[in-house]
Amino acid sequence: MNIRLPKIVWVNIGLLVLFLFVLILPGEGGLSSFFRGGKPLGYSDQRAGIQLQNAFRNVYNFSKDSVVSIRTKKTEAITSPYQYFDYRTEKLSSFGSGFLIHEKGYVVTNFHVISDAESIEVIASDGSVFPAKFVGSHERADIALLKIKEGSGLKPVSFGDSDKIEVGDWAIAIGSPFGLERSFSVGVVSAKYREDLDETGQTHIQTDSMINPGSSGGPLLNIYGEVIGINRLIRSDSGRNTGIGFAIPMNYAKKIIQLIEENKGRIIRPATLGVMATVPLPDHRKTLGIPADWKGVLVYDMDSGSSAESSGLKRYDFIMEANGVQVKNINDLREQVGIVGLGGRLKLRIYREKALEELTVRLIQK
């Protein structure tokens, strides 16, 4: 059976064939010219950028097997908004980040990542999942120590000196924002010692590296791949990254980790000394006989029944050291109180009535 197509159909078919022939025709007028493109930039043109790119790749490859995702589960009651007494319980999961600090399986993260968790799992870079045991934590410092089995295939991190960082240094974050494991983000150190961000009173490293929910507990690295901080919080009205993130300096964190290890099984709770103190003015120094070049803080008042009062600290005592650390200002003293925690003992070196004395303060619940 022969089918006769209208003449207009044959004309359209001819035009289509001609159009396709022109598109694939070699030369400047053909479609193939779009795929050839221009000559790319050469290595000599992009040498500096390629070297920097390779440096970032090196950091990632060096660190990826040290960083883990942390999955916690806890049971919560879900209540119906439409009916009274209509509720059910569900085991909800949440994610955070962490990193291996010792080949025996010790993992560091933030306390708020594992707080109230019924179960904790560590997810390695190859997807392996390991149950984690709670070793201990420091609530005020927001640091927790976990343990997984040895031989996990993870590699312990290398530590850098967080006191030697400078504003403008590269700051690299690796973690699991929104559960997206081993996300790599590059920024800089925006501020070295950011104080009074929250109730902890401790100083933080500020960075514009992308830190989001789920990044907490992951490492902040320098350009050598060394851990200089533990990513902890962000400053944002929306709860999403706005380029202002904060990490716990690693030199401070190492002191906390050592204290946690010494107090296995405990949650070290926040404590207060209960004093009002300040760097003394020249008139105060002259009246109390405090040498002008001595550093410390002067106690001008204290809370009734506080740890300070109960341990014999007095008004106008000049505190020079706390646990062997020089006290230059009130934040230095607050930091040492925070490290020791509730129930701990704070050894003070004070100047009282023109004589040096040693005083041990037991940090109690007021």
Strands (E), the chain: 67-79, 87-102, 106-109, 119-123, 129-131, 133-138, 143-147, 170-175, 183-194, 204-207, 219-221, 227-234, 245-249, 267-268, 275-278, 297-302, 318-322, 325-326, 345-352, 355-362
Cα 246 from chain centroid?
A: 6
Radius of gyration of the chain from its Cα atoms, rounded to whole angstroms: 30
Contact status, residue 209 vs residue 165, Cβ threshold 8 Å: no
Among 94, 102, 112, 284, the one annotated catalytic: 112
Residue located via tokens 């002008």:
292
- Confirm whether 216 is a catalytic residue: yes
CA within 13 Å, CB half, 271: 26
Letter string b/e over residues 233-265, b meaning 16 or more CB atoms within 10 A of that residue's CB = bbeeeeeebeebbbbbbbebbbbbbebbeebee
Among 190, 216, 306, 311, the one annotated catalytic: 216
The answer for 224, left when phi > 0, alpha when psi is -120 to 50, beta otherwise, is alpha
Alpha helices of 92-158 — where are they, by DSSP H? 111-114
CA distance 203 to 195: 5
Q: Which residues pair with 147 in a beta bridge?
A: 106, 133
Write a three-state SS string for 276-333: EEECCCHHHHHHHCCCCCCCCEEEEEECCCCHHHHCCCCCCCEEEEECCEECCCHHHH
Q: Amino acid identity, residue 170?
A: W
- Confirm whether 112 is a catalytic residue: yes
The two tokens of residue 239 are 């709860």
Among 65, 142, 208, 317, the one annotated catalytic: 142
- Confirm whether 45 is a catalytic residue: no
CA-CA-CA-CA dihedral for 242, 248, 250, 254, to nearest 10 = -160
Shortest CA distance to 303 belongs to which of 342, 330, 274?
274
Active site residues: 112, 142, 216
